[in-house]
Structures are given as structure tokens and as C-alpha cells.
Amino acid sequence: MMGGDGVALTENHTPVEHRLILENELVRVWDVLLYPGELLKHRDYALPSLVVVVEGDRTETVRSDGSRETLDETPGAFRYLEAGESFALKNVGSHRYWSRIVEIKTAPHMRNIDPKETFYDDAYAPVAQKVLFENELIRLWEISLPVGGGHPTHHHMLPYVILSVEGGHNQMKWQDGRTTRSYEGPGFVLFREPGGIHRLYNMDETKPYLNRLMEIKVPSYPLPDLETPLTEEVLIDTTESEWRPKSLEGLSEIRLFTNEETGATISLVKFAKGSGIPEPHKHASNQFMFCLSGEYVYTATNTVLRPGSFYWNPKGNVHGPTMANADSVLLEIYDGPHYPQKPSWYTDDKDAK
């Protein structure tokens, strides 16, 4: 007998339920809530599953053979269920019981993983602080951050599920310069694709952050399509970004946006006092500049950019040389490729893009 969601049922039994909150090709996540004395009737766990407790103190499992087991179910507690387990669950504590059950949709290729494969990127910190559990299908981590604490830059090599136990406002700073913020309160669940490289910060002013991070060992899982348009807002905190020195002495950059298809870019550029572009030149697209600080001069025409100045140089128009009379920071925008060919003052090809 099969339930409507494909979970195998036996007579007088019902599937894992209460409320389905997330499902994709790898996992199915359920919300289970029991008040003291309430019973979750017999469930058949046809898939291997991970149970993570958000709230609770004690539960009792009752199996088909009548055997019983009392469990301490404090926040953050977890247990792994092998496929085929079957039992009823009763809240025998004095507090409500709230958990997330993650069913793992196993596939044949998940069983054929080289046991020596770690899925770690040694160039970065581990994805979390402590491994709590690991088998051939999953690896379960703990992240625990005090108020204001952070976890260093790490690289997610596997798809993963975040299961928050305690926390609030978080911030991630990505390798590409983006900053994203989220609210990850108790019970928060999120699935993420592999490939992300970021730092994590607990931005909540009063609450520590505690989660369970479940990696799913699917090495063949596709990485995100980098050509897919972004579907979320992007916020970059440039005060935390590193200036990248260019191959022209005195010039550095923070890249904010790049369109690989058209060559269009948005950057912050910084000229140290006494530096500048040494020769007349033209661009392969329109160039726009807005001066944020300093004093930047096009010496041939004595065009001076000071804080608040906006400058537009049309595609193909020859201008320059330039000179920074003081340390100068400008917002620079190109609506296409920067140059018809690499200028002589750059030794690195990427500096001309």
C-alpha cells in the first residue's frame, strides 16, 4: 500500500506528516509539533531520515512489537533513522515538542561514493565547526556562534540543508563581494546548492546562533547555472571589500558588477595621489564616472572631477592623460567593453576588462 506522497504504508499506519515545508529531488522536510500528551500515530519511515529537535524535553517511541523507549529531546538533539523504521511518537514531557524530519531521497549513485572522498576544500575553513554524525549518505555539522560571532570563509562542495535551532539575524559575505542578510530563527529550514563560498556572521544583538547543517553526499549533483539571472537583491558592503591592485601603479579597484556577455561593468576605482592614466586613449563603450573623494584631472582639457562631479566620455572619444592631485575614489561605469585593445600601461589582461 502506498501513501499519496509515495511513502510505503502498512495496515493501520500513516505516512510521516504534520506539515510538509520543503521538497526537492534530494530531500523532503516535515514539520512535527506535539503538545504534552499528544501522540503522532504510527509512521513508516520508508526513507532514511534525520530528526532534528527545535523544542522539547522528553518523548516516548512505541514500536509495532509494543516496545517503548523514552528519549531526551532537548533543542539541537538529533537522531538518524534507517529506512524501514516504524513507530508512534508521544510527547511525555512538560513542554511542547517541535522537530524537523528530513527524509533523504536516496539514489543508486549515492551508494557508490569512494569512502576516501571527503568533499572538503582544503583552501578554506570547514563548512561548520564540528561534525556530529556521518555515514555514506549525509554529514551533519554544528554551527554555534555567539552574539557578534562569525565563521570564517568556507566552500560548500555538496548540497546542504540548514536547520536552525536558535538564532535570529544572520549575514553572509560572499567571495564575489555580495552581502546577503536573512532571519534564521528557531525552526528555519533552507536548502542550498553547492558551490557557495562565503563567511557567516551572527548579527543578532541578543541571541546566539545554533544550527544543524546537513550535507548530502551527491557528488554528481549539478552546480548552479552561473548564466541564470539573479532573482534576489544584492547588497555589497564596500567598507568590508578588499581593493584589488591593478598593474598600473597607484590604481586599485573593487568590482561591483560584471556582465560577461556585454562586457559592461560597475566598479569603484582608487587613484593614489600622483598616479593616473599616462597616455591619451579611447574606450570601446560609453564611460561614466562619479567622483566620491579627492581631485582627479584630465590634464589635456583641464577637466577636474571633485566630490559630486559626474563625468561622461562617449564611446570612441579620445581623452587623457589623467592625474590624481589627491587620493581619489570614483564610481566608474562602462556600458560595454572597456578598450578596443589592451592599453600599454597594463601588463595584466584582466585589468583592461
Q: What is the pLDDT of residues 178-222, one digit of tens each?
A: 888 888 889 999 999 888 889 999 998 899 999 999 999 886 565
Which of 142-156, 206-220, 286-300 shows the highest mean pLDDT? 286-300
Which pLDDT band, with edges at 50, 70 and 90, does 225 fall under?
A: very low
Q: What angle do CA 209, 177, 230 make, to 5 degrees?
A: 90
More confident residue, 249 or 179: 249
Which triple of cell numbers denotes residue 107?
539514489
| Closest to 47 measured CA to CA, from 6, 83, 75 | 83
Average pLDDT over residues 147-158: 91
All three cell numbers of 205: 544583538
Percent helix / strand / coil, the chain, rounded to 5: 5, 50, 50
pLDDT digits (tens, 9 = 90+) for 120-140: 677 888 999 999 999 988 999
173 pLDDT more than 50: yes
**Cell numbers 572597456: residue:** 338
Parallel, antiparallel or unpaired: strands 169-174 and 179-183: antiparallel
Residue 302 in grid coordinates: 583641464
Please say whether the beta carbons of 245 and 275 come within 8 A.
no
Q: For residue 6, what pLDDT is reported?
A: 32
Band (pLDDT 50/70/90 cuts) for residue 258 is: confident
242-352, CATH topology level: Jelly Rolls (2.60.120)
Residue-level pLDDT at 117: 61
Domain boundaries, the chain: 14-104, 108-216, 242-352
State the pLDDT at residue 18: 73
What pLDDT score does 9 carry? 32
| Average confidence (pLDDT) over 270-282 | 96
Q: Which residue has the higher pLDDT, 228 or 338?
A: 338
Residue 246 C-alpha cell reads as 591593478
Q: What is the pLDDT, as a whole number, of residue 3?
A: 34
Average pLDDT, the chain: 86
What is the predicted pLDDT for the residue at 116?
Answer: 56
pLDDT band, very low/low/confident/very high, at 1 (cuts 50, 70, 90): very low
pLDDT number for residue 164: 95
Question: 14-104 with 242-352: one CATH topology?
Answer: yes
Residue range 223-239: mean pLDDT, rounded: 59
CATH class given for the domain over 108-216:
mainly beta
CATH dotted code for 14-104: 2.60.120.10
Predicted confidence at residue 195, as pLDDT, reads 83
Burial of 306 (0-12, 13-18, 19+ CB in 10 A): middle
pLDDT in tens, 76-102: 999 999 988 889 999 999 999 999 999
